[in-house]
């Protein structure tokens, strides 16, 4: 039967009377979500909405990343490697999505951003507590950062918990120790409130996994998952750097950081340094 006026008829089974049912918008709380964008420029700059949506979307993804990484830590503590790997796979895909998302913000030209940048005041992504939480649970801990959130007790408490509890890497190393690998006792008993620093004595432990992955498949595979995660995270950081550079050049950041220079130094941070160092000895040297 030909369509009249180009209209597509509804299938008979589609429910249209939702007056007493849970509908899509209610389930997702769209009234609140879609009314949470409040431009501060005056008059409102047409490109500020892009800037707000970009960062709000990122925060939603960070919420899921933290949820999944807490899950990874718990699964490893319970020796449930399959679920830990599944959650890590999800986080890797989230960071790939976040990396590609920078291409949308990169359409904001310097003159467009300059039209509302001053209205942002000192607000900055540096103040994202969820980003800081992701760094904490992956090992880049810094107790001094808690002071940024003194005005928000609930936020500070969440970060304090992530500061005081083991990282994903701590959970992995404890898992390896429980399964017969000679992880140094002082590594297992370290102060988890401190930022992770490379431990050369861990490299031989990891080398045993990489030298015989068939025998040590679970440990080997999850180590590679963490390398994948770090790569995805670093690509996101790099794309952030390039987006900022093309938008504001080498201006100081709104939060007072050095901008591009600050982001450049972040690229030097490594969550799981031994998982990269172990590669140097794999397969031997040149003949």
117 marked ligand binding residue: yes
Residue 46 token pair? 């047409």
52 marked ligand binding residue: yes
136 marked ligand binding residue: no
75 marked ligand binding residue: no
Query: What is the torsion angle, in degrees rounded to the nearest 10, for the CA atoms of residue 75, residue 77, residue 78 and residue 79?
Result: 90
113 marked ligand binding residue: yes
CA distance 199 to 272: 10
240 marked ligand binding residue: yes
Per the annotation, binding residues for substrate are: 51-55, 113, 117, 254
Q: List, as residue ranges, the binding site for heme.
A: 240
């Amino acid at each position: 039967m030909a369509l009249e006026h180009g209209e597509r008829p509804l299938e008979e089974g589609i429910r249209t009377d939702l007056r007493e049912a849970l509908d899509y918008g209610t389930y997702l709380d769209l009234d609140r979500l879609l009314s949470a964008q409040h431009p501060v420029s005056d008059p409102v700059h047409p490109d500020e909405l892009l800037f707000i949506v970009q960062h709000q979307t990122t925060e939603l993804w960070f919420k899921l990343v933290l949820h999944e990484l807490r899950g990874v830590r718990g699964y490893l503590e319970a020796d449930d490697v399959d679920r830990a790997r599944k959650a890590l796979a999800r986080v890797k895909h989230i960071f790939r999505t976040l990396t590609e998302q920078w291409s949308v913000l990169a359409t904001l030209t310097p003159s467009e951003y300059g039209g509302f940048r001053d209205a942002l005041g000192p607000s900055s992504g540096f103040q994202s507590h969820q980003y800081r939480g992701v760094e904490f649970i992956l090992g880049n801990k810094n107790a001094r950062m808690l002071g940024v959130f003194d005005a928000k007790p609930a936020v500070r408490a969440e970060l304090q918990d992530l500061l005081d509890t083991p990282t994903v890497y701590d959970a992995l190393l404890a898992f390896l120790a429980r399964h017969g690998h000679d992880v140094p006792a002082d590594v297992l008993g370290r102060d988890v409130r401190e930022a992770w620093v490379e431990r050369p004595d861990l490299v031989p432990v990891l080398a045993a996994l990489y030298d015989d992955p068939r025998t040590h498949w679970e440990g080997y595979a999850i180590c590679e998952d963490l390398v994948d995660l770090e790569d995805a995270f670093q690509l996101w950081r790099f794309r952030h750097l390039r987006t900022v550079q093309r938008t504001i050049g080498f201006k100081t950041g709104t939060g007072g950081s050095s901008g591009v220079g600050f982001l450049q130094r972040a690229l030097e941070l490594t969550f799981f340094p031994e998982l990269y160092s172990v590669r140097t000895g794999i397969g031997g040297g040149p003949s």
